[in-house]
Structure 1
Amino acid sequence: MFLAQEIIRIKRDGGQIEAADITRFVAGITDGTVSEGQAAAFAMAVYLRGMDLDERVALLRAMTASGQVLDWSGDHLPGPVLDKHSTGGVGDKVSLILAPIVAACGGFVPMISGRGLGHTGGTLDKMGAISGYIGQPDTARLRRVVAEVGCAIVGATADIAPADRRLYAIRDVTATVESIDLITASILSKKLAAGLQGLVLDVKYGSGAFMPEQARAQALARALVEAGKGAGLPTVALLTDMDQVLGTSAGNAVEVAESIAFLTGAGRDPRLWQVTRAQTVELLLLGGLAADRADAGQRVDQALESGRAAEIFARMVAALGGPADLLEKPDRHLPRAPVTVPVMAARDGFLAAQDVRAIGLSVVALGGGRTRPQDPVDPAVGLTGWVPLGTRVGPDGPPLCLIHAHDAAAAAMAAGMIAKACQITDTPPVLTEPVAAGLIA
């Protein structure tokens, strides 16, 4: 006989839970036979006692199997099904650029993305800024777009890993979100449910990351890779820096605009390209689409420079209900905030450091993010024109960034937050590479 309280007791006392019992417990979370209190107690027991690899894999498999699992074998796709996942940051629009590049190189990318929460932005919110874009299509349309276009950036439907949806809501209110074991199952269950054949993880560290300490981010990356591979999904991870805004914008519509400019060649931030290129190269290698890293790099560069990736992004947007001329006329289809205010440095010097979390919270304060899952998001507001660390700034310019707000009061509030988040020094800072050395595989 299955008793949820016995599973909780075993983990509370530091024991190992059998895979069959984890499967039954997750089934109970899904169908409601495990109460909210029991699920909360389980989450806390796991948070305090931890899980070994066998338990992590069992939890991951059970959460994946709690809903629909996509199987692409019947679609006869002529290339591998691949994806990436980021642990979240400020200005991280890599997904919007990477997905069409991978598709241009012969991969197929059913990118199931999430909404932003806290100081980090969400890919689904960014795509939702595009007029008419259907962010949560039914499974039939998702399959059709992936097969015909090569990629689809969408949100999870209600039947994708439903156990994760319920357990995450409980973790969010019980101070157990930071559990590496539960994070691993949450992230990977949705990726396994997408029917992937290869996954690259972008695990961030720094002031704007979910896990600021590099050592803890590395531990999470290793846990994710081990669990993904243990569940049969070829997985690798890269550690990337989030001690400054990634790219030149933070927000929703403004990040889509930057991504379009990147794909079309109108403007390409070097750090954003380094992070995007590194992940894309690893995906091509995982999918067998390149002979080695040099070959993969050449293929990635060609997909971007030829315009093929931009063409695929445009086709994806149109296939999911968005405008067919988005790349040619982004201003017509992306909302714009009526107030634009520059943020100037208080004194002359070099931009030496950013509190990126505080910068992300300034976007939330403008209305561009949420602190609760049910909060609405204003797609028009955000920050653009971010200067990189090491830039000489001052009261006479250049500005640290431009604020896009709906009124002057909101802009002034955000400007105060940003000014406090930026450190100006007399000497230039020592700059770090955006991608840490060493692939975790």
Structure 2
Amino acid sequence: MDVIDVILTKRDGGRLSGEQIDWVVDAYTRGVVAEEQMSALAMAILLNGMTRAEVTAWTEAMIRSGERMDWTGLDRPTTDKHSTGGVGDKITLPLAPTVAACGAAVPQLSGRGLGHTGGTLDKLESIPGWRASLSTEEMLDVLRSAGAVVCAAGTGLAPADRKLYALRDVTGTVESIPLIASSIMSKKIAEGTGALVLDVKVGSGAFMKNVESARELAETMVAIGGDHGVRTVALLTAMDRPLGRAVGNAVEVAESVEVLDGGGPEDVVELTVTLAREMLAAAGLDGGKDPADALRDGSAMDAWRRMISAQGGDPDAELPRAAETHEVTSSETGVLTRLDAYGVGLAAWRLGAGRARKEDPVSFGAGVICHAKPGEQVKAGQPLLTLHADDAGRFEHALRALDGAVEVSAEGAPELLPLVIDRIG
């Protein structure tokens, strides 16, 4: 094979054969294809797209670049969820134990936050003692004892994707839907789950800003899952405003525990229950215990405590708190018509809750608490947001991120996306 021929084929709008895809992904992983050559191919894919057959083959090649996990030894079916990321998106935390309490096993490999979107592992690492890095044997032990495990992916899982992901980030090719879809699905299929529910976020705080692009991504991923024998469905969900009232790390853990304790914000509860029902149906368990009942009767909380404890965490430990706080108050009385997800996420990042580079540390106590949600009545002088940071010097920079992100109107209602926009699959 000649890498130049592969690049030229895609540059000129042609279709790559399965043999070309297998070769170029393997050669790139081994270092035979240079970074600048794969950069050219990624740009050609961004500009000219891929057919379903090409995307399926590309995903399969990335899966084959590493190990594939196997959970067939478990006594219950496996099911998982993947979110494309957003602001206040702590759903994995209450969702995994809720689904486990209803009879499925949830082997979830999660990531860390980068920029304005939070990472599940960062949130969970705010719990004293909790470990993100587990061997496959340890994952299996946690699944058997707790029913759910949330941890970091090992280096042996889809190494081609890890290498290509870093390249796309610095070459302006992140937006390619075929490459996004194959990146997500190669890891999820290699993870070995039998069923998968995709939560594709839409709005200012999400990667996909409009419903059309989100639907295209969702349809592509659902097709890939089906082609690889994984029962896959996708929900398009709103990310034009933050999920829940807490944005950060420890503050989102605290809110998740409220949900598991039968309370919490309505939108977080609704999305948790909706996704849990989809996961159980995909696993063939839709006739059993209902997730709403698991939240009400305490069994989801019990599964959470087992899961956290099994990974070294103390579910009773006090969570980290930021040293400094600053309140943002309403300048007028009326209806909160806008609480922009991106602005709030950016503010939380600048407060220390997120990172600019993968190697940067995060502040577990930093974040934003939203005292009002769009559509709610507020009064002049009422606190709208509380900013949390370890260093008060961060507040000024965070407040600039909120310019135009918060609007109160004397009359009128907010124009919001429905929480669940569509279902695909």
TM-score normalised to the size of structure 2? 0.96
Q: Verify: 1:205 aligned to 2:190, yes or no.
A: no
**Contact preservation (8 Å) 1:390, 1:428:** no
Q: Verify: 1:24 aligned to 2:23, yes or no.
A: yes
Superposed CA offset, 1:263-309 (max 9, x none)? 113x3111111212111111111111023xxx6xx611121111111
Q: Which amino acid aligns with 1:373?
A: K
Q: Aligned with 2:201: secondary structure?
A: strand
**Contact preservation (8 Å) 2:123, 2:252:** yes
* d(CA) in 2 for partners of 1:371, 1:229: 35
Q: Write the mapping of 1:24-423 to structure 2, written as runs, cut at 5 A.
A: 24-73=23-72, 75=73, 77-265=74-262, 267-291=263-287, 299-323=290-314, 326=315, 329-330=316-317, 332=318, 334-397=319-382, 399-423=383-407
Range moving further from structure 2, 33-42 or 405-414: 405-414
Deviation, structure 1 residue 407:
2.6
**Contact preservation (8 Å) 1:338, 1:405:** yes
Q: Aligned with 1:337: secondary structure?
A: coil
Deviation, structure 1 residue 437:
4.6
Q: Gapped runs of 5+ residues in structure 1?
A: none
* d(CA) in 1 for partners of 2:422, 2:343: 29
**Contact preservation (8 Å) 1:271, 1:434:** no
**Contact preservation (8 Å) 2:363, 2:390:** no
Q: Aligned with 1:400: secondary structure?
A: strand
**Contact preservation (8 Å) 1:245, 1:386:** no
Q: Aligned with 1:420: secondary structure?
A: coil
Q: Which amino acid aligns with 1:359?
A: V
Q: Which amino acid aligns with 1:391?
A: E
**Contact preservation (8 Å) 2:339, 2:373:** no
* d(CA) in 2 for partners of 1:231, 1:383: 40
* d(CA) in 1 for partners of 2:196, 2:179: 18
Range moving further from structure 2, 381-390 or 241-250: 381-390
Match among 419, 426, 432 for residue 410 of structure 2 = 426
Q: Which amino acid aligns with 1:283?
A: M
Q: Gapped runs of 5+ residues in structure 2?
A: none
**Contact preservation (8 Å) 1:243, 1:355:** yes
**Contact preservation (8 Å) 2:332, 2:379:** yes
Equivalent pairs, count: 425
**Contact preservation (8 Å) 2:129, 2:313:** yes
Q: Aligned with 1:439: secondary structure?
A: strand
Q: Which amino acid aligns with 1:235?
A: T
Q: Aligned with 1:225: secondary structure?
A: helix
Deviation, structure 1 residue 419:
5.0
CA separation of 1:70 and 1:343: change in aligned 2, threshold 3 A = same
Deviation, structure 1 residue 425:
1.1
Deviation, structure 1 residue 240:
0.6
Deviation, structure 1 residue 378:
1.3
Deviation, structure 1 residue 227:
1.4
Map of 1:436 onto structure 2: 420
* d(CA) in 2 for partners of 1:34, 1:379: 40
How high is the sequence identity, in percent, across the aligned residues?
43
Deviation, structure 1 residue 236:
0.5
Q: Aligned with 1:17: secondary structure?
A: coil
